[in-house]
Structure 1
Amino acid sequence: MFRTLLRRPSLLIGLIVIALVLAGALFAPLIAPYQPDAQMFDGLSLEGAPLPPSHQFPLGTDTLGRDLFSRLLYGARTSLLIGLVANGIAVLIGLLIGTIAGYFSGLVGGTLMRFTDLMMAFPALLLAIVLAALLHPSLWIVALVIALVNWAQVARIVYTETRSLAERDFILAERAMGAGHLRILVLHILPHLVPTAIVWGTLGIATTVLLEATLSFLGIGVQPPEPSWGNIVFESQSYFQQAPWLVFFPGAAILMTALAFNLVGDALRDITDPTQRGRG
């Protein structure tokens, strides 16, 4: 498995980018030259316009004279925290519902999967906008909203795998020996679902980061002055022609982070899929 990992340059690139983003988020207080909400008079030109990248301000300043590099570092904390928390909750909900529906077929499984299909029928972004608008937007509310709209895909995948596992000979043998449902689920079903949960958990972080950025860009995500990559773009969109770096740098951070998690998730999916081993 590790030899396969080393033969994938795209995976190594993804891991390097993720490591850099995580390091920037974790050590933001040590790396950032300024506080993210510090407004400085020397951060604006004489006409009150934001300054371009310079030695004093590596990525320039925003419309309020705040250092963009510092805000991106602290914004990485917000975006990654929401991505990890929201996606972790979504994977847990999807794993729980998918496993129960796949193992207990009939009325229980049918009801749970019809509810899952109903959730998948709604556009995720539209549902997230409605939920975020009904609730008071905050960091944890945004994470909860994203989790509530992203679990259905995981549940559908887990359901299909659980249905297949429940009909295997070793599961039938466990039942014949009198093993209870809880023992079968915990000791024999869930261990086989761990690779799927890891892969979808990794892939889902990219989707979650993008969705958080979209909600913040629309003004119903993380609220200022708490920085996130999405609301940095939202605050600077009207100055795109005057100060394009205000949109380019946070946009590039969102793009590179989402791409990195997708590269890692795709590689893990290929490695854990027996039909893909030996290819590439």
Structure 2
Amino acid sequence: MGMLVLAELVKRKLALLGLIIIVIIAGSALLAPWIAPYDPQNQMFDGLTIEGAPMPPSMQFLLGTDLLGRDLLSRLMYGAQTSLIIGVVANGTAVMIGALVGVIAGFFQGWIGTILMRVTDLMMAFPALLLAIVLAALFKPSLWIVAMVIAMVNWVQVARVIYTETRSLSEREFIEAEWAIGASRFRILFKHMLPHLLSTMVVWATLGIATTVLLEATLSYLGVGVQPPTPSWGNIIFENQTYFTSAPWLVFIPGVAIILLALAFNLVGDALRDILDPTQKGRH
């Protein structure tokens, strides 16, 4: 199944482009300790001009240096680790929580479903970014805290979608036939419901990474995300924004990296939505 989906993805030019971008960024993040030109924390004397300004891109520093004389390329590679870890962990957690809430509420319904969906509606009433800022400010920001904060604000959309699909599946003829022959709740849920919901979870797990990466970058830029000296693409922009006019590469390059990674996951997620649920083709 997995190989068939991958083969379908490769056939689509935009999805293939997204996969290539993801592989390049993920590969540079995983191999950063071995291929990064410098230590991302190393403040080099020759990384600054005589006036103490950042060095522009050159043969020695391919993407230039930041205001402390640190190699920007090395910091981007290590920052990719942060973005990908938070993207995968936070979104994976959000999908699991949302799927659990949605399936329980849609399958069991009754007062359990009502309470769970009212809590979901209440969470959806708060702006996600504002809620994330408040939660991040309440705790000491770190990589894992930021991941959990993002998960806590992103699960509600997944819960709503899974709840709607679960309710729809519950009314299908094959589910009613299972009830009629006396099948157990366990059998219906795990043999018939969850396999039909898996494709939706996979699509949300892919598309959600793009949103998560953007939210992490926003939190780090606002100073309530991953804290220096741990590099992340958001705090790289935050640290160097004062040099935007004199050293624009310090803001432009990490900004492009964030956009490319988010775009790549969106391209792959859209393709997965078409492949795993052909009825959605052309509707987005």
In the other structure, the counterpart of 1:185 is 189
Q: CA deviation at 1:178?
A: 2.5
The letter for the 1-side match of 2:252 is F
Measured in 2, the distance between the counterparts of 1:171 and 1:115 equals 27
The letter for the 1-side match of 2:95 is V
In the other structure, the counterpart of 1:47 is 51
Instruction: Choose which of 151, 173, 176 in structure 2 pairs with 1:147.
Output: 151
Deviation track 1:66-121 (CA, whole Å, cap 9, x = no partner) reads 00000000000001000000000000000000000111112111111111111111
Residue 215, structure 1, aligned to residue 195, structure 2: no
Greater shift in the superposed pair: 179-188 or 35-44: 179-188
In the other structure, the counterpart of 1:115 is 119
The letter for the 1-side match of 2:50 is L
The letter for the 1-side match of 2:233 is W
Instruction: Choose which of 87, 91, 96 in structure 2 pairs with 1:87.
Output: 91
State whether residues 9 and 268 of structure 2, in contact with CA within 8 Å, keep that contact through their aligned partners in structure 1.
no
The letter for the 2-side match of 1:154 is V
**TM-score under structure 2 length normalisation:** 0.95
Residue 163, structure 1, aligned to residue 167, structure 2: yes
Residue 25, structure 1, aligned to residue 29, structure 2: yes
Greater shift in the superposed pair: 67-76 or 3-12: 3-12
The letter for the 2-side match of 1:170 is F
In the other structure, the counterpart of 1:14 is 18
In the other structure, the counterpart of 1:126 is 130
In the other structure, the counterpart of 1:270 is 274
Aligned-residue Cα RMSD (Å) equals 1.6
Measured in 2, the distance between the counterparts of 1:244 and 1:25 equals 23
Residue 36, structure 1, aligned to residue 16, structure 2: no
Residue 196, structure 1, aligned to residue 193, structure 2: no
| Helix, strand or coil at the partner of 2:65 | coil
Residue 260, structure 1, aligned to residue 264, structure 2: yes
Q: How many residues align?
A: 280
Measured in 1, the distance between the counterparts of 2:241 and 2:172 equals 55
The letter for the 2-side match of 1:38 is N
Measured in 1, the distance between the counterparts of 2:145 and 2:169 equals 36
Deviation track 1:180-227 (CA, whole Å, cap 9, x = no partner) reads 222221121111111000001100000000000000000000010000
Measured in 2, the distance between the counterparts of 1:181 and 1:123 equals 36
- Map 1:63-102 → 2, pairs under 5 A: 63-102=67-106
Q: CA deviation at 1:277?
A: 5.5
- Structure 2 alignment gaps of length 5 or more: none
- Structure 1 alignment gaps of length 5 or more: none
Measured in 1, the distance between the counterparts of 2:256 and 2:43 equals 24
Measured in 2, the distance between the counterparts of 1:93 and 1:245 equals 39
Measured in 2, the distance between the counterparts of 1:203 and 1:269 equals 9
Measured in 2, the distance between the counterparts of 1:161 and 1:190 equals 11
**TM-score under structure 1 length normalisation:** 0.96
Measured in 2, the distance between the counterparts of 1:206 and 1:169 equals 36
Residue 250, structure 1, aligned to residue 251, structure 2: no
Q: After the TM superposition, which segments of 4 or more aligned residues of structure 1 sit over 6 Å from their partners?
A: none
Measured in 2, the distance between the counterparts of 1:31 and 1:252 equals 21
Q: CA deviation at 1:157?
A: 0.5
The letter for the 1-side match of 2:151 is A
The letter for the 2-side match of 1:106 is G
In the other structure, the counterpart of 1:136 is 140
Measured in 2, the distance between the counterparts of 1:256 and 1:207 equals 12
The letter for the 2-side match of 1:103 is F
| Helix, strand or coil at the partner of 1:25 | helix
State whether residues 199 and 277 of structure 2, in contact with CA within 8 Å, keep that contact through their aligned partners in structure 1.
no
In the other structure, the counterpart of 1:59 is 63
